[in-house]
Amino acid sequence: MAVTIKRAALIVASLGVLSFIFGVIAENKKPAAGTPISGKDMVICKYPSDPSVVLGYLSVAFLILSTLTGYWSLFYPYKGKSVPQSVLFQNTSFFVFFNIALFTGGLAATLLLWPTITEHLHLIRNVHHNLSTECPTAKTGLLGGGAFVSLDSALFWLVALMLADNAREDHFDEVEKDRKVEHAQVLASAEYHVKGGAV
Does the pLDDT of residue 183 top 80, yes or no? Answer: no
The mean-pLDDT minimum among 46-50, 57-61, 86-90, 178-182 falls in 178-182
From CA 3, how far away is CA 166, in angstroms rounded? 17
Residue 39 phi, psi (nearest 5): -130, -170
Q: Tell me if the pTM is above 0.85.
A: no
pLDDT tens-digit series, residues 161-175: 999 998 888 887 786
pLDDT category of residue 199 using cuts at 50, 70 and 90: very low
The model's confidence at residue 188, banded by pLDDT at 50, 70 and 90, is low
The C-alpha angle 187, 192, 193, rounded to 5 degrees, equals: 100
Q: For residues 5-23, give the mean pLDDT.
A: 95
CA distance 112 to 146: 5
Q: Give the C-alpha separation, 180 to 185, whole Å.
A: 9
Question: What's the whole-number mean pLDDT along residues 30-57?
Answer: 85
The mean per-residue pLDDT over the stretch 40-48 comes to 84
Mean pLDDT in the chain?
Answer: 87
Beta strands in 6-148 (DSSP E): 35-39, 42-46, 127-128
Mean pLDDT for the stretch of residues 58-75: 95
CA distances from residue 133 to 13, 34, 126, 137, 139 in whole angstroms, order as listed: 43, 10, 10, 12, 16
What was the pLDDT predicted at 62? 97
CB atoms within 10 A of CB 189: 10
| Residue 108 one-letter amino acid | A
pLDDT tens for residues 69-120? Answer: 999 999 998 888 888 888 889 989 999 999 999 999 999 999 999 999 998 9
Look at residue 80 in the predicted model and tell me its pLDDT.
Answer: 82
Beta-bridged to residue 35, according to DSSP, are 46
Q: How many other CB atoms are there within 10 angstroms of residue 162's CB atom?
A: 15
Residue 126 in contact with residue 46, Cβ under 8 Å? Answer: yes
Over the stretch 127-151, which tens digit does the pLDDT of each residue have? 877 777 788 888 888 999 999 999 9
Residue-level pLDDT at 163: 93
Q: Which of 76, 80, 101 is nearest to 153 (CA)?
A: 101
47 or 112: which leads in pLDDT: 112
* pLDDT of residue 52 exceeding 80: yes
Q: What is the pLDDT of residue 93?
A: 92
Beta-carbon count within 10 A of 182 CB:
10
